A and B are shown apart, each in its own frame.
Chain A
């Protein structure tokens, strides 16, 4: 599988080795040493995936994520030193779709990228158009919009997550199921990915995200969508 990847990483040696490894996996790699450079590279020629180190000089990884997210729905993977920190949640809240920890295995990273690119395609099970609240979900076209017409912008991961929930309305999907279907993770995937994405989704589809009426949490089990 091929695709273009933007790598934003300040350490020159890591950048070079990542380029080698990712090119070995069949990707076309563009690299940048700073967030600013990465953003301008992306503006020039958008890539399919962006890989952003959180610890960057100048504009940090979070800011870079937010800036990139403002102009694109491109899948973003953040690179962090540790998995068990609030950095991960902060990065996801800044708009990242997934994260990897250093030192990562290029094969694993390639698998993550594949999963993100895969879900950019429409889901296999087409739930058909679904209306909930004053929103209309059109999985076929990859569009979420207000019933009266305006499109609601969401990232591809958010959209895919919404489609998975919408595919079985009123049925509880566990975090593990969602991690598997949306991110391609096994049982030990990070549940925070689901939680943060659900939170992000709620700010877009719920009139009151603090008291959701459509995307509901079922304690100890998972989430369900109620039209």
Chain B
């Protein structure tokens, strides 16, 4: 999944804060540690050398009371001494003996080098500094073991504090990133709102050009310029459509009026003249429908369709529309009954009746031309409780082979001719019938789709939202 820009900005801020706190924290920790250790080490060296001098003078005077000698040495509470003299080790603490001193250090000291070593030892992993001082004049080695537990504790607290500070910084960074992304994306939300409004047909929507933010001035200007262009083009197109509509309708009006005059003269025409008139009449009507459909479609595209919704009883509406649609087609087979579910009988829907009539007529025509005739028309409720449905579905089923699932959404496309429709020769369709069905339904707040009918044919379904019920005393 791709992260959104907001999430990315937040992540970058968070990550930046994390890296910063790691590096700053790490730097402080190690610097402090190094400094404290170095200080401790130099103090330890000092103390060890001082003690070694004491030991040397004591040993040189022949003392053998090693325990007393070690006890007299000035060691703090954090250190203990080990003295190796004549290969025997004496320690100031019971927990220490010769093996407490690492072999390597011992070897180095025996070889005559003063050496220190920091190492962790013991079960509690206590860090220690061990300073070894060779005292060659008395053939002894003096070691002092400094425990660093207090230092370790300090560093531990420091580490924890720095870790906490790091976590806090990261969280703050993330929060800051969040705020920054929100703030920088806020103008985009404005652009998005404007775009939605424009897409919804409010072409006079503009971004506020008086916005004081200089960084956004460019975006605002170009966005508004784009919408200006768009508006000009859409208005030009709408005007063009209305001009075309007028220009096409004028000759069509002349043609159809003249055709009627000729048709009134039917009896006076020769058989050849009648045949020609029939062809002329059929194709003129087809042409009229085609022009009508095309103009309707282009108006729908331009968003210039006005819809006048009326509140009507759905069962009466469907009944009437089905009758009208079937009557126009003069279907040979007995007209199918319109089955109306009891739950929808009293329901009202908001429709443009004449639009709905065309929708039904187109579906019935489609079923007749491509589906072998209408087999059933039904109305029933859907979505919601069975006795108070929130939507009604109007279904028109046909006797055809059905529509392949992959083609089901495409049949509502303009000029779509399905694979099973090599029947252009019948020439009655304009190729826009089902596209207009979908368009009309959308304009009326409904939907149209096709599914498989249980009887095997296609089942075209229209759905409309139910209006809040009204008292209907006449029913």
Are A and B subunits of one complex?
yes
Interface string of B238-264 (1 = CB under 8 A from A): 000010011001111111111011001
Give per-residue flags for B213-254: 1 if the beta carbon is below 8 A from chain A beta carbons, else 0: 000000000000000000000000000001001100111111
A14 to B308, CA, bound (A): 30
How many residues on the B side are at the interface (Cβ–Cβ under 8 A)? 38
Interface string of B447-475 (1 = CB under 8 A from A): 00000000000000000000100101010
Q: What A residues does B211 contact at CB under 8 A?
A: none
Complex CA distance for A17 and B249, rounded to whole angstroms:
14
Measured CB to CB, the nearest residue on chain A to B348 is A220
Q: Contacts A103-B249, A187-B316 known; A83 to B354 CB distance under 8 Å?
A: yes
User: Which residues does chain A contribute within 8 Å of B474, judged by CB atoms?
Assistant: 172, 221
Nearest to B251 among chain A residues (CB) is: A13
- Do residues B253 and A17 form an inter-chain contact, with CB atoms below 8 A? yes
Q: Which residues of B contact A84 (CB under 8 A)?
A: 305-308, 352, 355
User: Across the interface, do A105 and B260 meet the contact criterion of CB distance under 8 Å?
Assistant: yes
Q: Which secondary structure dominates where chain B touches chain A?
A: helix
**Are B245 and A81 within 8 A (Cβ)?**
yes
Are the C-beta atoms of A20 and B311 separated by less than 8 Å? no
Known A172-B474, A219-B470: A106·B257 in contact at CB below 8 Å: yes
CB distance from B340 to the nearest CB of A (A): 16
Q: Which one of B320, B321, B353, B470 has the greatest number of beta carbons of chain A within 10 Å?
A: B353
Can you report 6 A-B residue pairs in the complex whose CB atoms are below 8 A from each other?
A14-B253, A103-B249, A106-B260, A107-B260, A188-B354, A188-B357
Give the docked Cα–Cα distance between A198 and B261 (Å): 37
- When the two chains form their complex, are residues B311 and A219 in contact, meaning their CB atoms are under 8 A apart? yes
Task: Classify the interface of chain A: helix, strand, loop or mixed.
Answer: loop
**A37 in contact (CB, < 8 A):** no
- Select B264's contact among A24, A83, A221, beta carbons within 8 Å: A24
**Chain B residue at smallest Cβ distance from A79:** B253
Evaluate contact between A21 and B324: CB separation under 8 angstroms: no
Say if the beta carbon of A11 comes within 8 Å of chain B: yes
B407 at the interface (CB under 8 A from A): no
Given A84-B305, A105-B256, A220-B348: A20 in contact with B261 (beta carbons within 8 A)? yes
Residues of A near B260 (CB, < 8 A) are: 21, 24, 105-107
Q: Point out which of B251, B308, B352, B353 has the most chain A C-beta atoms below 10 A from its C-beta.
A: B308
Task: Give Cα A22 to B424, complex, Å.
Answer: 36
Q: Which residues of A contact B324 (CB under 8 A)?
A: 186, 188
Whether, in the assembled complex, B288 has its beta carbon less than 8 Å from a beta carbon of chain A, the answer is yes
Q: What is the number of residues of chain A that contact chain B, defined by CB distance less than 8 Å?
A: 33
Given known contacts A14-B253, A104-B256, A220 and B311 CB-to-CB distance under 8 angstroms: yes
Verify if A175 is at the interface (C-beta below 8 Å from B). Answer: yes
Question: B357 to chain A: which residues have CB within 8 Å?
Answer: 188
Closest to B313 in A: A220
Q: Which residue of B lies closest to A11 (CB)?
A: B250
Interface residues of A (CB under 8 A from B): 11, 13-14, 16-18, 20-21, 24, 55, 81-86, 102-107, 172, 175, 186-188, 190-192, 219-221
Given the complex, which residues of A lie within 8 Å of B242, measured CB to CB?
A: 81
8 further interface pairs, Cβ-Cβ under 8 Å (given A21-B257, A85-B306): A21-B261, A84-B308, A86-B306, A103-B249, A103-B256, A188-B320, A191-B308, A220-B348
Q: Is B310 at the interface (CB under 8 A from chain A)?
A: yes
Asked, given contacts A24-B260, A103-B256, whether A221 binds B354 with beta carbons under 8 Å apart, the answer is no
A174 vs chain B, min Cβ distance (A): 8
Q: How far is the CA of A85 from the CA of B474 in the complex (A)?
A: 33
Which residue of B has the minimal Cβ distance to A23?
Answer: B261
Q: Please, which residue of chain A has its CB at the minimum distance from the CB of B467?
A: A220
Could you say which residues of chain A place their CB within 8 Å of the CB of B251?
13
- Residues of chain A within 8 A (CB-CB) of B257 are 14, 17-18, 20-21, 103, 106
Contacts of A21 in B (CB 8 A): 257-258, 260-261
- Taking a contact as CB atoms under 8 Å apart, the answer to whether B470 and A191 are in contact is no
A-B residue pairs, 3 tightest by C-beta: A17-B257, A103-B253, A220-B470
Chain A residue nearest to B284 (CB atoms) is A103
Q: How far is the CB of A134 from chain B (nearest CB, A)?
A: 30
B308: A residues at CB distance < 8 A: 84, 191-192
> Complex formed: what's the CA distance from A107 to B256 in Å?
11
Q: Would B354 and A190 count as touching, CB distance under 8 A?
A: yes
Kindly provide the distance from the CB of B440 to the nearest chain A CB, expressed in whole angstroms. Answer: 10
Which single residue of chain A is at the shortest CB-CB distance from B311? A220
Render B10-42 as a binary contact track against A, CB cut-off 8 A, 1 for contact.
000000000000000000000000000000000
CA distance A191 to B353 in the complex (A): 9
Q: What is the bound-complex CA distance between A172 and B321, given in angstroms?
A: 24
- A13 CA / B249 CA spacing, docked (Å): 12
- From B288, which residue of chain A is reached at the shortest CB distance? A103
Chain B: minimal CB distance from A16 (Å): 8
Q: CA–CA, A83 to B295, complex, Å?
A: 12
B307-323 interface bits toward A, Cβ cutoff 8 Å, 1 = contact, 0 = none: 11011000010001100
| Complex Cα gap A219–B255 (Å) | 43
> Interface digits, B338-358 against A, CB 8 Å rule (1 contact, 0 not)?
000000000010001111010
Give chain A residues whose Cβ lies under 8 Å from the Cβ of B249: 81, 102-103
Give chain B residues whose Cβ lies under 8 Å from the Cβ of A188: 320-321, 324, 353-354, 357
